[in-house]
Structures are given as structure tokens and as C-alpha cells.
Structure 1
Amino acid sequence: MSGKTGIIIQARMSSSRLPGKSLMKIGGHPLIWYVVRRAELLDLPVVVCTSTDPTDDPLCNFLEQEEIDFFRGDLHNVLERYINTAEKFGFENIIRVTGDNPLFDYEFLQGNLDLFDRYSYVDGIYENGLIKGAGFEFVKLEELKKIQCPDKEQAEHVTLSLRQSHHENSLFTRLQPRLHDKFRDKIVLTCDYPQDLMLLKEIFSFFHYRTNIRMQEVIRFFCKDPESFKKNTEFLQ
């Protein structure tokens, strides 16, 4: 693919639903550590995109200690943060991952990287796509820069306007994850609520805290113990 590709992970400590979750422990490491180490499996540059707000100082201190690259920008304008992060690190192709998804489907991501050759935006987080918490997006920096005068919601959700107009642009597409089809209404792998964190702790414990847990393994675990996964599926409603 042409242009430098990098993974940008957005994270902050001031989540309204689960404050401080980036540094909440799963086994011996905080949540953000698992997201970063999983991203590193793709052998691409990885940068955490956080804010200049003082609430994110502890997060940046941790990233510094771990020698993980990070960029700090406006707390509320996440779109601007992404653009500035990409420009600083020279990324033309951006893989967008959120810091509350320690089990994003890195193998599916790896297998679709060639889509950057044909599309400027690839949606992997739409409602009926991947299992919630397993998704990611591909977006070219030039496409983010085209978003003019974003409103508050667009600035916060970065690719919202691209997702809303994917039918209108031949350079936009959606991922079609067949593996996820039968399970997207039964499994939640993101970390928005305490119940989500409880489930993630169970999953990582079962797999001995590996960062390379495959989605097929998670699904097999669900089939073996579906009751464990019911603790947070109420949030799918």
C-alpha cells in the first residue's frame, strides 16, 4: 500500500460511564496496555492519542514508563487530535482503534490491510458489523482533513460523517465479517461499564492473559460458557 500506515489508539481517563478505565487492571496490567500490545502484533507503528487535560496525566505517565508513543491534544475535539497525531508521526493511512477494546480482531484487521489500496475509508464499527468491541476502522488522513467545520458530535466521534455517507462515496466501504455474524448480539467485548470489565477479566484470565487471543478462541469460550457473557449483553439493547 502507498503511504505510511500507523495505528492510532484513542484513550482518555475522563470517561463518563467508567472513569479511569484506561488504567484499570486486568491481571497485572492496565486496560490500555493490552490494547497497545495487541496492536503491536501487527508490526506497525502504534501511538496512543490522548488529551492535554490534567486528568490524563496519569495515563501519559504510564505510557512514558512503558516507552509507548503518545500524543496529547484537545480533550473534546478528537478529530483534530487524530489529524495532529497522524501529521506528527507521518501517517497517511490511519488504523483507528479505541482504547477500551483490548480484544479488537487483529487477525481480521491484518487480513484486510490491502483495502487501503482501494478505499479511503473502511468502516468496521457499524452496528451490524463486527462483534461490539472487536471493530476498527481504516481511514486516510486526507479524508479526515476534508471534514469541514465539524459539529460537537462529529469532533468527538471522528469518523461519524464518513460512516453516515458511506453509500454516497465509491471510495468508502464496510467490512463484512462472516465469523462475527452469529455472535454480534450475544457477545460484548468493549469496556464501557463495570460489567464489561468483569467479563474481560474472566476472558483474559481463562487465556492466561495473552495479548494474542484469537476471535475464534473467544467464540469457543462463549460456546462453552455462554452464561459468563450474559453479564453485559443488556447494553446491546
Structure 2
Amino acid sequence: MSSRKLVAAIACRNNGSRLYGKPLQNLDVVKQITILDNIISCLKSLQIVDEIVLGISMGSDNLAFQDYAIKNDLAYIFGDEKDVLSRLISCGEKVGATDILRVTSESPFLYFDVVNELWQHHIDAQLDALFMDEIIDGCGFEIISLAALKKSHEKGEDRHRSELCSLYIRENKDDFNIEKVYPPKELIRKDLRLTVDNPEDLVVCRAVYQHFKDFAPKIPLLEVVQYLDNNSNLKDLIFPFAEAGYATMNK
């Protein structure tokens, strides 16, 4: 495994018409622990992750992420706002990655339980890409070789270079060695979401964090589902946004 370098690349920007500055919103208001804080802490706890790089969108609105990277001793790059794929590639090139672990900057609760074993499987099976699909919106991840990302950028269109960074690979699966894996059935819940795109999402993620903060940064997802099922007021807040979120997933 020494010849492979898995780097977590996180595309960051502060724009957002529904909720501004999503990654830097607080999960814990009192202790000022942000969404990005919990993501970074969780990634740092995974020994297979060699490095974490922030792929920051250009623009003065996003300089806070440069400050964040410096404060937390993280590598970072600046790149085109719309060409998210190029930012992920630049993240990998910055630190000599062979493979990218892709997580999103506004989703605080990663399904961390299986990342280690799936990284080993990605290597053993010589995959170009491994997708954790059908999981609760915001909790999944993708492991993609840097070479496959570069091929996607070269051969794809603008829509493939957007935040749908793996779309070219998914649409041209015969050109890549890919595998889709799925979580336990308890985590396949199209009525739930744990990503922050709206104020209502933030209310729910804050409530989840407060309830499970003793486990942070590794919040146990199976228990989160039980908690939400027992608190219908929280489920009702996010349900109206669930369908739209899943519409762009797992293509």
C-alpha cells in the first residue's frame, strides 16, 4: 500500500442562495464547532487518509477557507468555481495523490465505518472508482483514482466538471473499472438527509450533533437514524427537501 496515496479532497465555497457559508456554519454554537471541523476531525481519525486538501473556489468570499486551512495545518489550492472537477484534480496533484477520497464540505456525518476496508478493496480489485451509493444523502463517499478524474476532465463536458464530479465515470462505466457498494438497509432512507443546504437542514444536523456529541467526530449513523425516527418533528423539517437531493445522486 506504500505506493498508493489516498488524499481526502474537499471542494469549498461560501456561496449559497438558501444558506450562506454552509461548511463554516456551527454544529455546536457554544463551542463553535463547525460542519467542516467535524468532517476534518473524522477524516484525520482515519489512518488510511494520508492528507487532506481543501479545493477552494476563487473569490474574496472564500478567503475564510484559506484562513481555515492555515489554522488547521491543511494543504489547499484555489481554482475555478464551476469546474469543481479541476479543483479535485489540483488537490491531488498538490500533494502527490494517486487516489482521491471525495466527501462534500457541507455534510458533517460521514459513513466512516467502512472506509478502511473499501480502500483496501479499491486497491486489491485495481478499481478506477468505488462509489458508496444509495446511502442517506450526505453520508456517502467516493474513492476515485487521480488518473480517472483526469480522464473525466479531458473527455467530459462542462456538466461533468461541475459538482457532479463522477458523472462522466458513471455514464461511461465500460471505460472504467468501477464498483458500486451499498450500506446496510437501515441507512437506505430516501426520507432522510444529513447534508446542509437549507436552514432546516442545519437545525436537524445541530440537533443530531448535540445528541451524539460525546461520539464526535465519529457520529454513529445507525443510531442517528433511530434518533430521527423517534423525533418526527426533525424528520418533518427535512422531508420536503429529500426528493430533490436524491434526484442528482447515484447517476
Match of 1:196 in 2: 201
AA aligned to 2:160 is Q
Aligned length: 232
CA distance in 2, matches of 1:65, 1:160: 33
Deviation at 1:113, TM superposition (A): 1.3
Shift in Å, 1:134: 0.7
Q: Who is 1:160 aligned against?
A: 167
Q: Bigger shift: 203-212 or 78-87? A: 203-212
Percent of aligned pairs sharing the same letter: 22
* CA contact 1:123–1:163 (8 Å) conserved in 2: no
* DSSP-derived class of the 1:7 partner: strand
Match of 1:88 among 89, 94, 107: 94
- Which of 93, 97, 109 does residue 103 from structure 2 map onto? 97
Alignment TM-score, normalising by the size of structure 2: 0.85
CA contact (8 A) 1:76 1:155 kept: yes
Measure, in 2, the Cα distance between the counterparts of 1:213 and 1:193. 21
Matching of residue 123 in structure 1 with residue 131 in structure 2 = yes
Matches within 5 A, 1:63-74: 63-74=69-80
Pick one of 184, 190, 195 that aligns with 1:178.
184
Report the counterpart of residue 38 of structure 1 in structure 2: 42
Output the CA distance in 2 between the equivalents of 1:110 and 1:191.
25
Per-residue deviation at 1:225? 2.3
Give the gaps of 5 or more residues in structure 1.
none
1:185-218 deviation digits (Å, cap 9, x = unpaired): 2321011111111100000011126211111221
Is the contact between residue 22 and residue 59 of structure 1 (CA under 8 Å) also seen in structure 2?
no
C-alpha displacement of 1:152:
2.2
* Structure 1 residues 170 and 69: CA distance shift in structure 2, 3 A: closer
- 1:14 matches 2:19: no
What CA distance in whole angstroms lies between the structure 1 residues aligned with 2:139 and 2:25?
19
The amino acid that maps onto 1:121 is A
Structure 1's consecutive aligned runs of 4 or more residues displaced over 4 angstroms after TM superposition are: none
In structure 1, what is the equivalent of residue 53 of structure 2?
Answer: 47
Q: Output one character per residue of 1:31-88: Cα deviation in whole Å (capped at 9) or x when no partner.
A: 2111111111212221221122211112221222222332221222111111111011
Displacement, 1:226? Answer: 3.6
The secondary structure found in structure 2 opposite 1:112 is helix
AA of the residue aligned to 1:18: L
TM-score, normalized by length of structure 1? Answer: 0.90
Letter in 1 for 2:103: V
Shift of the 115–169 alpha-carbon distance from structure 1 to 2, 3 Å rule, reads farther
* Counterpart secondary structure, 2:130: strand
Instruction: Give the 3-state SS of the residue equivalent to 1:146 in structure 2.
Output: helix
Decide whether the 8 Å contact of 2:101 with 2:144 is kept in 1.
yes
Which of 140, 144, 148 is the aligned partner of 1:139?
144
Instruction: State the match for 2:25 in structure 1.
Output: 24
After TM superposition, give the deviation of residue 149 of structure 1 in Å: 4.6
Native 8 Å contact 1:130 1:180 kept in 2: no
After superposition, the C-alpha distances for 1:167-197 in whole angstroms (9 at most, x for unaligned) are: x25611111212445x422321011111111
Query: Gapped runs of 5+ residues in structure 2?
Result: 244-251
Equivalent residue letter for 1:191: V
